[in-house]
Structure 1
Amino acid sequence: MSYNLKTGDVTEWEITLDDYSKTPKYRQLVNSISHAIEDGLLRVGDKLPSVNRLLIEHDISRVTVVRAYDLLKKKEVIESVPGKGYYVKLREEGRRPRILLLFNKLSAHKKLIYDAFSRTLGEEASIYFYVYNNDFNLFKNIIQTSLGKDYTHYVLISHFLEGGENALDVIGQIPPEKLVILDKQIEGISGELASIYQDFERDIYCALTEMRDKLSSYQRLKLIFPDDTYHPVTIKDGFLRFCAEYAFNGCVVSDIATGDIRAGDAFINLMEDDLVTLIKRSKELKLKIGEEVGIISYNETLLKEVLLNGITTVSTDFGLLGQTAAECILHGRKERIANPFHVKFRNSL
């Protein structure tokens, strides 16, 4: 509820904060007030709840409320009247992006996507950020709960440990014009939508082709592909196609903790835990990495630049992926765009 300083009218509206959202509480508070103004629930001159009232009613810190109000003041959306409180200063014009952003997990790579996405959109966009930890049922619940909340866009990464065969039924409930699919294509969705994706089979095939001369010094090429991974099976398909076409002795290893490691092996790992295990076991076997054993690691990170004097990586450009997704939203583009994939040669190969 708010009181209009100019007219004396009382306005009914409600601040909504979500304890399960990864979006910081101060940003949720900014979004809630901005949307109330945008939707006409708050008008110029309406008084906002006091800092003390908000921290008591919503169990948040004073710092959170003050930070939100200071940001709204900086944007000249609200103003403070000494001795009286905070009031709506102006009505925001236009339809600001209100985005549900749904990631399968948190990682250094996902942070690159998020940072580029948020930076490109700018402060005028409201991002509601959730993580479903590769759990299809949680993914389904978040989507279905969100359908009545007037989001302008749904930006989704869909990777599941199990249950993903039903993902299309859930995603199909979202209007395609509001959809932005990231990282992995979802086949079967009708209508025009934006999709910025990795072409997993083609990417690994082309990357290995680029590395063919270096790989030729190894006797065996091994892809570490755990049985319970969420990574697309098309990575395995691209790997096996490369081995068949170029006559490499290739095989798939499901568990590097027990798999055979010998001099002359070159490994491709997808998971960070498997990289650690591979390095540890190679050292225990006194095999020199980069000479007797080769390592190619999926997904570029700063740590891999320095670990063991450099780990060779194959990786999509995560920052560009987030930036392109934001640009599709800002410019209303409905395109399917393959994100660039790069090889970084270092001393591990």
Structure 2
Amino acid sequence: MTDIKFTIDDNSNALKFQQLVDAILDAISRDQLKAGEMLPSVNQIMKESNLSRDTVFKAYAELKKRGIVESVPNRGYFVTKKITKVFLFLDTFKAYKEVLYGSFLKHLPKNIGVDLHFHHYNINMFEKIVLESLGKYSKYVIMSFDHVKIPEILQKIPADQLLIIDWKIHSKENQSVVYQDFGKPVYNCLKSNLEKIRQYNEFIFYYPEFTYHSKDSIVYFRKFCEDFSIKHSVIFEEDQFRIKKGALYFLVSDRTLAGLLDQCAEKGYEPGREVGVISYNETPMKKYVKNGISVISTDFELMGQKAAEFVTTGSFINFEVPTTLKLRSSL
């Protein structure tokens, strides 16, 4: 029987039985408790952690229900399987991130726990949360962003435990990545719909100052327009975003998509007729809004599946998730 001790925080908002469940799961994920080992007795935990008998029994019952431990009459409780605890660090929780998260969970075995965090592109929060997480998880799945401090922070995580998802920026050759390319696939998606794009008088890319979308999309948007002699512009200021009849708009923010639809309602324009719209990132609702919004998007379902594959196999991965244009009535 292990001599491990569990600390319970009386001032925590978490229920004591849940703290004990989490502490045992954490000990298993760190190999402090191994499959086949006996857990401390109910009486031992009651004494060392100052818990009631009911609290300990409730925690053990929860672990037994999950299949993590089993009870043997007249002997005690034993660890039945190794569990893995995963640190999932996303930027923000938008609709398409929900698709990614749902796919990630769906493709993980039941004995793998996931702690979800968000950094909101705040480098101080990013660093603080990563540093506090070190050594507590067996795998780290992190959505990176463009900041000079990111490589130094990510280097603190062992390469075999780290997966960078969505944006490949700042990744090293020895670090696993499951990513989308924001550049050349955009060019290819536009090229494959050249004739539809030519129906409009002008092609306008609105890149608002609040977005963190990769500027590679701007580079390849301009290249496409120049290669095929498409009249175009890139606007950055909100006061420049006044829709024009006969123009096609490329939008990388759902907030700006809502703004365009508001302007359409005010002017009586129908997307796909008086103005065209291509939005970035698929969400479940875009196929229904205004008879369908055309979307350039990576496959977030597949991205979540590949991230789960890294967690379950532990194998190095370098995978580019395809980006496609889903043609709907707004183009």
Shorter-chain TM-score: what band? 0.7 to 0.9
Q: Normalising to structure 1: TM-score of the pair?
A: 0.81
- How far apart are 1:318 and its partner, in Å? 0.4
Distance 1:28 1:337, change over 3 A: farther
User: Is residue 41–residue 77 contact of structure 2 (8 Å, CA) maintained in 1?
Assistant: no
Q: What is the aligned partner in structure 2 of residue 114 from structure 1?
A: 101
Which residue in the other structure is 1:213 paired with? Answer: 195
> Secondary structure of the residue that 1:214 maps to in structure 2?
helix
Matching of residues 123-142 of structure 1 within 5 Å: 123-142=110-129
Change (3 A) 1:237 1:13: same
- Deviations along 1:53-79, one digit per CA (max 9) or x if unpaired, are 9999xxxxx9xx959843533416144
1:324 Cα deviation after fit: 0.4
Larger CA deviation: 180-189 vs 288-297: 180-189
Which of 7, 14, 23 is equivalent to 1:32? 23
Report what 1:73 is aligned to: 65
Q: Match of 1:90?
A: 78
* Deviation at residue 89 of structure 1 after TM alignment: 2.4
Distance 1:182 1:75 in 2: 30
Deviation, 1:117, is 1.3
Residue of structure 2 equivalent to 1:248: 230
Can you list the C-alpha shifts for 1:101-152, whole angstroms capped at 9, x where unaligned? Answer: 10111111111111211221212112221111121110011111222x2422
| CA distance in 2: counterparts of 1:99 and 1:11, whole angstroms | 22
Match of 1:172 in 2: 155
Deviation at residue 296 of structure 1 after TM alignment = 0.8
Letter of the aligned partner of 2:142 in structure 1? L
Deviation at residue 17 of structure 1 after TM alignment: 11
Question: Structure 1 residue 35: deviation in Å?
Answer: 3.3
Q: Which residue number corresponds to residue 332 of structure 1? A: 314
Note the C-alpha offset of 1:182. 0.2
User: CA 1:16–1:256 in 2, change beyond 3 Å: closer, same or farther?
Assistant: same
Please list, as runs of the form range in 1=range in 2, the aligned pairs for 1:1-349 lying within 5 A after superposition.
Answer: 12-14=5-7, 30-37=21-28, 38-40=31-33, 43-44=37-38, 46-48=40-42, 69-70=61-62, 72-75=64-67, 77-79=69-71, 89-94=77-82, 96-147=83-134, 149-159=135-145, 164-187=147-170, 189-190=172-173, 192-256=174-238, 258-349=240-331
**Deviation of 1:211 (Å):** 1.7
Secondary structure at the residue paired with 2:249? Answer: strand
SS of the equivalent of 1:308 reads helix
User: How many angstroms does 1:200 deviate by?
Assistant: 0.5
Partners of 1:282 and 1:289 within 8 A in 2 = yes
1:167-214 per-position Cα deviation (integer Å, ceiling 9, x unaligned): 111112222121101000033625x22101011001211111122121
Q: Secondary structure of the equivalent of 1:305?
A: coil
TM-score when normalising by structure 2: 0.85
Change (3 A) 1:342 1:88: farther
Partner of 1:99, secondary structure, is strand
Whole-Å separation in 2 of the counterparts to 1:132 and 1:271: 18
Count of matched residue positions in the alignment of Structure 1 and Structure 2: 321
- The root-mean-square deviation of aligned C-alpha atoms, in Å, is 3.4
Deviation at 1:13, TM superposition (A): 2.1
2-side partners of 1:182 and 1:25: how far apart? 34
Moved more, 252-261 or 293-302: 252-261
How far does residue 159 in structure 1 lie from its aligned partner after superposition? 2.9
Percent of aligned pairs sharing the same letter: 26
Aligned-partner SS, 2:278: strand
Determine if contact 1:34/1:92 at 8 Å carries over to the other structure. no
Name structure 1 gaps, 5 residues minimum: 57-61, 82-86
Q: Distance in 1 between matches of 2:189 and 2:13?
A: 39
Distance (whole Å) between structure 1 residues aligned to residue 60 and residue 67 of structure 2? 11
Paired AA for residue 329 in structure 2: N
Give the whole-Å Cα distance in 1 for the aligned partners of 2:232 and 2:50. Answer: 61
Of 330-339 and 193-202, deviating more is 330-339
- Residue 285 of structure 1 deviates from its aligned partner by 2.2
Task: Kindly provide the amino acid, as one letter, of the partner of residue 39 in structure 1.
Answer: Q
Going from structure 1 to structure 2, the CA distance change for 1:66 and 1:214 (only over 3 Å counts) comes to farther
